[in-house]
Amino acid sequence: MNELIEQFVVNAERNGLIVHRGAVPELPDAGISNAIYGLADPGSVVFAASPDEPRARSLLPDVHIAVLDEARVLADLSELMSRVGSDLPSSLAVVSGPSRSADIEQVLVLGVHGPREQHVALVPSL
């Protein structure tokens, strides 16, 4: 396996993303979005808002699956910015796992501002 992809998987899982290799898992009521890139460091997926990929699809469901073509895994944020350049979409989201908060009584809660469970389906290039 490509070293960049392996680094992505290790970092993504460390961040709380659940990585599936080869196919999109069938999870009831899960929202599914296509990630435009993955970042090996820090282990994140990147979404661009568009009419075909509305932001709500990745933010509102309790469980979300990001479909990521393994050929679109980049080294880091600086490589992402050089790829995107000045052609930024209306919204570019970099997701590194479920949101976390311990604001209330110092109790950690996952999924406060988005899905409680984040999956990545890492699929081979077509």
Closest CA to 120 of 14, 7, 23: 23
Q: What are phi and psi of 79, to 5 degrees?
A: -70, -40
Q: Edge-to-edge, what's the strand order for the sheet holding 117-123?
A: 18-21, 117-123, 63-69, 31-34
Give residue 60's pLDDT.
84
Whole-number percent of the chain with pLDDT over 90: 65
Residue 87: pLDDT over 90: no
Residue 90 or residue 9, greater confidence: 9
Predicted confidence band of residue 109 (pLDDT cuts 50, 70, 90): low
Residue 7 has pLDDT above 70, yes or no: yes
Q: pTM of the predicted model, to two decimals?
A: 0.89
Domain range list for the chain? 3-123
pLDDT at position 10 over 70: yes
**Range 25-37 average pLDDT:** 96
Just give the CATH number of 3-123. Answer: 3.40.50.10420
Q: Comparing 55 with 122, which gets the higher pLDDT?
A: 122
Would you place residue 125 in the very low, low, confident or very high pLDDT band (cuts 50, 70, 90)? Answer: confident
Residues 34 and 64: beta-carbon distance below 8 Å: no
Q: Hey, which residues does 31 pair with through a beta bridge?
A: 64
Q: Are the CB atoms for 61 and 113 separated by under 8 Å?
A: no
